[in-house]
């Protein structure tokens, strides 16, 4: 039998030492005080744990509501003009539907590419350009 990582022999030795140090008259009183203190500490730990659980649940619910609000783009909002990078300002992710920042190449929520990138060699300096004759 182990209690807090202490075996039966070690617990017996601690009780004998407590009896010698404290004395038989005060031992029940001190044991009661220790018991009440341990019970109060457990109560405080349980309250703290339940408060953390409630905070986590509220944060998870808020995050879920935020994602739901971000995932449903406003239907009456006009389209924005393209930015300097060529992608529309405030474009919506094609995979998850979350609106991203203007000029973003990747979605901040799911990591998907926000726009089609020209294949390598297919841009203005591609294989048929005057600087690179075919």
User: pLDDT tens-digit profile of 77-96?
Assistant: 444 444 444 444 567 888 88
| 124 in any annotated domain | no
| 1 in any annotated domain | no
What's the chain's average pLDDT?
76
Give pTM, 2 decimals. 0.40
Query: Do 25 and 56 share a domain, yes or no?
Result: yes
**Percent with pLDDT over 70 in the chain:** 69
Query: Do 31 and 63 share a domain, yes or no?
Result: yes
User: pLDDT tens-digit profile of 33-73?
Assistant: 988 999 999 999 999 999 999 999 999 999 988 888 887 76
| 133 in any annotated domain | no
Query: Do 85 and 113 share a domain, yes or no?
Result: yes
Query: Do 90 and 66 share a domain, yes or no?
Result: no
Residues of the domain holding 102: 81-118
- Domain count of the chain? 2
| 101 in any annotated domain | yes
Three-state SS sequence of the chain: CCECCECHHHHHHHHHHHHHHHCCCCHHHHHHHHHHHHHHHHHHHHHHHHHHHHHHHHHHHHHHHHHHHHHCCCCCCCCCCECCCCCECCCECCCCCCECCCCCCECCCCCCECCCCCCCCCCCCCCCCCCCCC
Query: Do 86 and 53 share a domain, yes or no?
Result: no
């Amino acid at each position: 039998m182990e209690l807090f990582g202490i075996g039966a022999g070690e617990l017996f030795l601690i009780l004998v030492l407590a009896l010698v140090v404290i004395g038989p008259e005060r031992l029940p009183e001190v044991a009661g005080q220790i018991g009440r203190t341990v019970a109060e500490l457990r109560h405080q730990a349980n309250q703290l744990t339940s408060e953390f659980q409630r905070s986590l649940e509220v944060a998870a619910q808020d995050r879920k509501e935020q994602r739901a609000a971000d995932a449903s783009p406003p239907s009456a909002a006009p389209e924005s003009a393209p930015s300097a990078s060529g992608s529309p300002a405030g474009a919506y992710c094609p995979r998850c539907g979350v609106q991203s920042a203007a000029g973003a190449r990747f979605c901040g929520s799911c990591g998907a590419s926000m726009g089609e990138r020209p294949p390598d060699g297919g841009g203005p300096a591609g294989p048929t350009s005057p600087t690179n004759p075919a």
